[in-house]
Amino acid sequence: MCKTPLHGLLEALPKCEHHLHLEGTLSPELLFTLAERNQVALPADAAYASPAALRARYAAFTSLDDFLDFYNAGVVVLRTAADFEELAYAYLSRAARTANVRHAEVFFDPQAHTARGVAVATVVAGFHAAALRAQADHVVSALLVPCLLRHLPVDDAAACFDAMLAAGLFSPTGTGNPPLLAGLGLCSTELARPPSAWAGIFAAAAAQGIRRTAHAGEEGPAAYVAGALDHLGAQRIDHGTHAVDDSDLLARLAAQRVLVTACPVSNVVLRVSPSLKDTPLRAYLAAGVRFSVNSDDPAYFGDMYLQEVYCAVQEAFAFSVDDWALIARSAIEGSWCGDERKRSIGRELDKVLEDWHARTEGTVAAAA
């Protein structure tokens, strides 16, 4: 709970989260539980002495790659559809309950699983079961987006994409039974890996009508954000933090109505930005760049799930009600769910804003 005057509004806003890695919701406690259940040996490193020791190490990340070493070491405990279901349901129910998340588009790393003999269909099956339960229990919709991994060879990514395509796992709207993959993403280590290397795969995805997004400009320069637009046909940009260094690029993002899926807490934890105030959210608003606010890997970043991130952002920036209305509406419009679902969340947003204005005008009138 934050102490800002808009806390009630921030809680009530219907939210869409677009930048959340399923594997990034694996808590140290669940990691140890699954390691035991699945008979997976954890690294022989003092950091893995206990969940508390691991938590303490997570509080001291020095860079994206330092974090990714732990994140990639953690994924190996995930083996069965039930594991993925447990992870996805815990996230979706928590997001809906504590942050009023109404729609979530969840990333996962297929290559991190197939390399260990865990099929993409296993992840999809677990996620599907979780999404059905979360929809019934909490009225939250969910889609799944695979991210190709930049730390592995491009040929490996191409083979992974081809296999998902051949298995018929993609769907333009992410709908289907089980719900299919709603788009294609790109993540992992960034420096010295310009987006152009993955252009062929993303062109093949575009040719199939598959939506595209890419992590860009997190540690990499603004040119990598431009590269994601130029070479990958990215319709969204994940992070995009360094786009702020190029005003022409900001103007382009605004003109093309590209949604930036900002992760301000992640940027501070991974030392992309010195503090929340240094993240470019106000610069985006000034330049007309649309963005959503997201939690990225909350189990690794101090358990800052979406409500905590919204509150931290407000404590840093003191945005106005109109700013938040624009952020919430941009998040709805930039979502990849169907138009009917977007309209439904949009009506909820209208109602929340109407109620907020009625209540605050009443307060002002009573005080006058």
Q: Which residues are annotated as a binding site for Zn(2+)?
A: 19, 21, 215, 296
Q: With respect to ligand HPA, which residue has the nearer C-beta, 70 or 324?
A: 70
Residue 161 near residue 205 (C-beta atoms within 8 A):
yes
At residue 262, φ and ψ (nearest 5 deg) are -75, 145
24, interface contact from ligand HPA, Zn ion, none, CB < 5-8 Å by kind: ligand HPA
User: 180 with 201: CB under 8 angstroms?
Assistant: no
CB neighbour burial string for 328-364, b if at least 16 within 10 angstroms, e if fewer? bbbbbebbbbeeebbebbbebbeebbeebeeeeeeee
- Which string of x and - marks every residue 51-80 that binds ligand HPA (by CB under 6 A)? -------------x------x---------
Are residues 85 and 122 in contact, defined by beta-carbon separation less than 8 angstroms? no
List residues forming the annotated binding site.
Answer: 19, 21, 215, 296-297
CB of 262 to Zn ion, least distance (A): 11
Nearest to 298 by CA among 4, 5, 13, 21: 21
Given the structure tokens 């420096």, which residue do they identify?
A: 191
Question: x/- site string to Zn ion, residues 119 to 138, per CB under 5 A?
Answer: --------------------
Tell me which of 17, 23, 86, 218 is the catalytic residue: 218
Q: Which is nearer to ligand HPA, 85 or 297 (CB)?
A: 297
Q: How many residues bind ligand HPA (CB under 6 A)?
A: 11
Whole-number minimum distance, CB 179 to Zn ion, in Å? 21
Q: List Cβ neighbours of 260 (8 Å cut-off, separation of 6 or more).
A: 236, 237, 238, 239, 240, 243, 253, 284, 289, 290, 291, 292
The structure tokens 């677009």 sit at 18
Taking the least distance from each CB to Zn ion, the nearer of 83 and 296 is 296
The values of phi and psi at residue 116, to 5°, are -105, 10
Contact indicator for 34, 40 with CB cutoff of 8 Å: yes
Q: Does the protein bind ligand HPA through residue 106 (CB under 6 A)?
A: no
For ligand HPA, the closer of residues 71 and 319 by Cβ is 71
The nearer residue to ligand HPA, 191 or 316, going by C-beta atoms, is 191
Least CB distance to Zn ion at residue 281 (A): 17
- Please state the φ and ψ torsions of residue 288, each to the nearest 5 degrees: 80, 20
Residue (of 170, 188, 197) closest to 239 by Cα position: 188
Nearest distance from C-beta of residue 147 to ligand HPA, angstroms? 7
Instruction: Please state the closest distance from residue 217 (CB atom) to ligand HPA, in A.
Output: 11
> What single DSSP character describes residue 299?
T
The pattern of x and - marking residues 290 through 319 that bind ligand HPA according to CB under 6 A reads: ------xx----------------------
Active site residue 340: no
Does 296 contact Zn ion by CB under 5 A? yes
Under rule CB under 6 A, residue 21 binds ligand HPA: yes
Comparing C-alpha atoms, which of 15, 68, 313 is closest to residue 215? 68
- Chosen residue from 18, 102, 212, 215 binding ligand HPA by CB under 6 A: 215
Q: Minimum CB separation from ligand HPA for residue 137, in Å?
A: 27
Instruction: By CB under 6 A, name the binding residues for ligand HPA.
Output: 21, 24, 64, 71, 187-188, 215, 218, 266, 296-297
Instruction: By CB under 5 A, name the binding residues for Zn ion.
Output: 296
Q: Which residues are catalytic?
A: 218
